[in-house]
Amino acid sequence: MYNLLKGKRGIIFGALDESSIAWKVALQAHEEGAVFTLSNAPIAMRMGKINELAATCNNAVIIPADATSMEELANVLTKSMEVLGGKIDFVLHSIGMSPNVRKKIHYTQSNYDNYMKSMDVSAISLHKLLQAAMQLDAISEWGSVVALTYIAAQRVFPDYNDMADAKALMESITRSFGYHYGVKNKVRINTISQSPTRTTAGSGVSGFDAFFTYADKLSPLGNASAESCANYCISMFSDLTRMVTMQNLFHDGGFSFTGVSEALIEEMSKEKE
Ligand X SMILES: NC(=O)c1ccc[n+]([C@@H]2O[C@H](COP(=O)([O-])OP(=O)(O)OC[C@H]3O[C@@H](n4cnc5c(N)ncnc54)[C@H](O)[C@@H]3O)[C@@H](O)[C@H]2O)c1
Q: List C-alpha distances in Å: 124 to 11, 68, 113, 118, 142.
A: 18, 8, 15, 9, 23
Stretch touching ligand X by CB under 6 A, among 77-85, 100-108, 182-190, 191-199? 191-199
Compute the Cα dihedral for 140, 250, 38, 13 and give only its sign: positive
Compute the Cα dihedral for 116, 206, 256, 17 and give only its sign: positive
Least Å from the CB of residue 158 to ligand X: 16
- Partners of 36 in the β-ladder: 10
Residue from 78, 140, 154, 200 in contact with ligand X (CB under 6 A): 200
Integer Cα distance of 30 and 23 in angstroms:
11
Neighbours of 231 (CB within 10 A): 17
Nearest-CA neighbor of 193 among 159, 161, 261, 146?
146
Which residue of the chain is nearest ligand X when measured via CB? 202
Position 114 contacts ligand X (CB under 6 A)? no
> Which residue, 78 or 185, is less far from ligand X as judged by CB?
78
Least Å from the CB of residue 235 to ligand X: 17
Interface with ligand X in residues 11-40 (CB under 6 A): 14, 16, 20-22, 40
Position 253 contacts ligand X (CB under 6 A)? no
Integer Cα distance of 184 and 201 in angstroms:
34
Position 148 contacts ligand X (CB under 6 A)? yes
Position 218 contacts ligand X (CB under 6 A)? no
Position 197 contacts ligand X (CB under 6 A)? yes
Position 215 contacts ligand X (CB under 6 A)? no
Binding site for ligand X (CB under 6 A): 14, 16, 20-22, 40-41, 44, 66-68, 94-97, 121, 148-150, 194, 196-197, 199-202
